[in-house]
Amino acid sequence: MEINSNIISPLVVGGLNSPLGARDLTHLLQLEGEERKTMLRKAAEVKASEVGNVVYLRGLIEFSNCCVKNCMYCGIRLDNKTVQRYTVSNEDILAAAKYAYDKNFGSIVLQSGEIESPAFTEKVEYLLQEIKALSNGELGVTLSCGEQSEDTYRRWFLAGGHRYLLRIETSNPELYSKIHPNDALHSFTKRVDCLKLLKKIGYQVGTGVMVGLPFQTFEDLANDLLFMKELDIDMCGMGPFIEHVDTPLYQLKDQLWPLQKRFEVTQNMVALLRIMMPDINIAATTALQAIDKLGREKVIRTGANILMPNITPGVYRNSYKLYDNKPCTDESADDCTSCIDVRVHLTDNEVGYGKWGDSKRFGKRG
Ligand code: 5AD
Ligand code: SF4
Ligand code: FES
């Protein structure tokens, strides 16, 4: 496609006089060769000057793979009967949190499938209180447990959860309805309402999308970036879509972009988001590493500033497979931890040990 150099020139000279619109972004997402390199370099500069070349860690605890939903892309969807379901005991979750605290990670993420029940609300509330207690209130805790009631979100916030990740998956409601069952449990509007609710309650809110979904266009991806800007998010996690053999979307695998293209476009998405929202936190997601062994490192060089080493107790890791080829499923927490330090140094970044590493955006908004 023909590249409109007027669009990248503001990136080249360094100043963005007018905000990037959907048409600009649609073009920029498709840049190749030297022009793409210029854009990635620009994102690296923005990162260095706005948030510094520091990578903050979030120890990821995938504490339950039980889920009531049936997202068409996800390996742990309810109808996948080949999955061995597990919920890590409170004792083991707290031991993993203590590990992160002792290793000076600064923060952890408690992630699970979606379960809405009084017992689940209570479990997470209890864990938050205990994690705060075992770390003298020092360990930051991000939650990623899907759509919940306002009351549950409030209870978790009061118990010490201060960040929440809930991906919109795609900002196009029509595409959303193609990759989810069409029922009240999988409602686009509900997802957006939850994001707004989380912000209202006072969480730092993270969202994100998958890149390279069937039926997804560059316009959709451009609108995803604008959606995040409009919502004024604090954090973002975006990754390439990777088909999982035990899911309905696997049938469409022949229509997908090649993996390498999904990787490159994800890298472009991260770079453009860094340019559009210079002071937010952006994760280098594990799905990037499933395509390219150095995938996360490449994206740290061009905009991302958050890594999420897996500290889920080893025996469960193999059962939290959202997509095929998920890395780090055979390692122990110690393997990931030592590996991460080496990897971050490879990118000429430093690890922000012992810090919460909150999004600067959140601090400014107050
Ligand atoms: N490929 C890539 N990402 C996936 N997720 C779920 N299934 C897949 C897949 N097949 C992502 C979704 C979800 C997050 C926890 O994992 O974006 O929000
Ligand atoms: Fe459940 Fe999340 Fe997977 Fe959907 S993407 S099936 S909500 S774990
Ligand atoms: Fe898990 Fe490298 S991050 S082994």
Closest CA to 239 of 206, 262, 255: 262
Choosing from 210, 262, 308 the residue with most ligand 1 atoms within 8 A of its CB, the one to mutate for a pocket test is 210
Give the model confidence (pLDDT) of 199-224 as tens digits: 999 999 999 999 999 999 999 999 99
Structure tokens, 290: 């499933």
| Global confidence as pTM | 0.94
Give the model confidence (pLDDT) of 312-321 as tens digits: 987 888 888 8
Q: 């810090």: which residue's tokens?
A: 355
Distance 167 CA to ligand 1 centre (A): 9
Say if residues 320 and 70 touch (Cβ distance below 8 Å).
Answer: no
The CA-to-CA distance between both ends of the chain, in Å, stands at: 43
Helices 90-102, 118-134: inter-axial angle, 10-degree rounding: 30
**Residue 77 binned pLDDT confidence (cut-offs 50, 70, 90):** very high
Nearest-CA residue for atom 2 of ligand 2: 113
Which atom number of ligand 1 is nearest to the Cα of residue 74?
A: 7
- Look at residue 7 and tell me whether its pLDDT is greater than 60: no
pLDDT at 16: 55
**What is the average per-residue pLDDT within 287-308?**
96
> How many other β-carbons are positioned within 10 Å of the β-carbon of residue 49?
10
Structure tokens, 25: 């972004």
Q: 54-365: what fold?
A: TIM Barrel (3.20.20)
Give the model confidence (pLDDT) of 25-54 as tens digits: 999 999 999 999 999 999 999 999 999 999
**Residue 5 binned pLDDT confidence (cut-offs 50, 70, 90):** very low
**C-beta of 295 in contact with ligand 3 (< 6 A):** no
Give the model confidence (pLDDT) of 121-173 as tens digits: 999 999 999 999 999 999 999 999 999 999 999 999 999 999 999 999 999 99
Chain centroid to CA 156: how far?
Answer: 20
Q: What does the domain layout of the chain look like in residue ranges?
A: 54-365
Q: 């990136």: which residue's tokens?
A: 11
Mean pLDDT of the chain: 93
Separation CA 260–CA 289 (nearest Å)? 12
Question: What residue type is assigned to position 63 of the chain?
Answer: F
Greater confidence (16 vs 22) lies with: 22
Percentage of the chain beyond pLDDT 90 is 82
**Residue 335 binned pLDDT confidence (cut-offs 50, 70, 90):** confident
